[in-house]
Amino acid sequence: MGFLKRLVGAIFSFWFLLTFVALVAGAAALAVYRMHFVGGFSTQSADWSAFGSYIGGILGPLVSFLTLGAVLRTVYLQRDLLNTQKAEFIKLSDQQVASLQRQDEQLQLSREESARAMVQNHLSNQFRLVEMFIAHQQRQAEAMSAAAFRITELDQGTFAQRMEAAQPALHDKELAMKNVQELLNLSIKLSLTEFKNAKEINDLVAPSLLKVLTSGGAGENNDVSGGVIVK
């Protein structure tokens, strides 16, 4: 089946048709010549000259026409080849552009994932820092509560005097508890807020932590229970 297709394609190909037309035209010219000029081969040079003029007059324009057709066919084939190459080049260029776009998208996604990972890591560190501050303030509040209790249990002075002496410790306890509440609120904000970069996290955390650090109070009166209250 494939051989027959190739054979038919060869039979009806352009170049085969040109050759066939040239052969048919030559045979027709000879047949017409023989129909009008019967007889054997002439020995006269004039007859051969006339025959050559006849054949040249018939086949010359035909060969020129067929040559022109071959040239036009070659031009068309070259044009088709150029169009095919152009289409292939455009297709290849589009594929390269699409490939570069996919690479750029993958690179952008990788950068975004890396940035999100850095932000998440920084956020986790800030959570741990806030939790450390909360635990410290809770210990301070417990320490001040214990100190105030020890002062009120002393045998020295009146109850009013002992309560007055315990006020600094109670004040520090309240301050520590207030700091704990503020740090808990900060932790909630960290949990509910979507951050784009580490700077946004720092802008939220830094003021609260700085306020806790500079609040004073807790720890300043750890020795208050060691004083002696006299009437």
pLDDT, one tens digit per residue, over 136-153 is 999 999 998 888 888 888
pLDDT for the residue numbered 221: 45
DSSP result, 56-103: HHHHHHHHHHHHHHHHHHHHHHHHHHHHHHHHHHHHHHHHHHHHHHHH
Higher-confidence residue: 65 or 11?
A: 65
| pLDDT at 166 > cutoff 90 | no
Task: Tell me the HSE value of 53 on the side-chain side, using a 13 A CA sphere.
Answer: 6
Pick 66 or 205 by higher pLDDT: 205
User: In this predicted model, what pLDDT tens digit does every residue of 45-98 receive, in sequence order?
Assistant: 776 677 677 777 777 777 787 788 778 878 887 888 899 899 999 999 999 999
Task: Give me the pLDDT at residue 44, please.
Answer: 67
Tokens of 174: 């309240």
pTM score > 0.85 for this model? no
Range from 9-18, 60-69, 70-79, 204-213 carrying the lowest mean pLDDT: 9-18
Predicted pLDDT at 121: 93
Query: Where are the chain's structural domains?
Result: 121-226
The encoded tokens of residue 220 equal 């300043």
**216 token code pair:** 């004073």
Question: What's the full length of the chain, in residues?
Answer: 231
Average pLDDT over residues 113-139: 92
Q: Mean pLDDT across the chain, nearest whole number?
A: 79
Can you give the pLDDT at residue 75?
A: 86
Give the pLDDT mean for 172-193: 91
Alpha-carbon distance of 139 to 157, in angstroms, equals 29
Give the per-residue pLDDT at 231: 37
Backbone angles phi, psi at 62, to 5 degrees: -65, -45
Residue 135 confidence (pLDDT) above 90: yes
pLDDT exceeds cutoff 90 at 15: no
Helix, strand, coil percentages, rounded to 5, for the chain: 85, 0, 15
The residue among 36 and 25 whose pLDDT is bigger is: 25
pLDDT value of position 132? 93
Q: What is the pLDDT of residue 228?
A: 37
- Condensed to tens digits (0 to 9), the pLDDT of residues 39-55 reads 566 666 776 677 677 77
124: number of Cβ within 10 Å? 11
Task: Quickly state the pLDDT bin for 2 (edges 50, 70, 90).
Answer: low
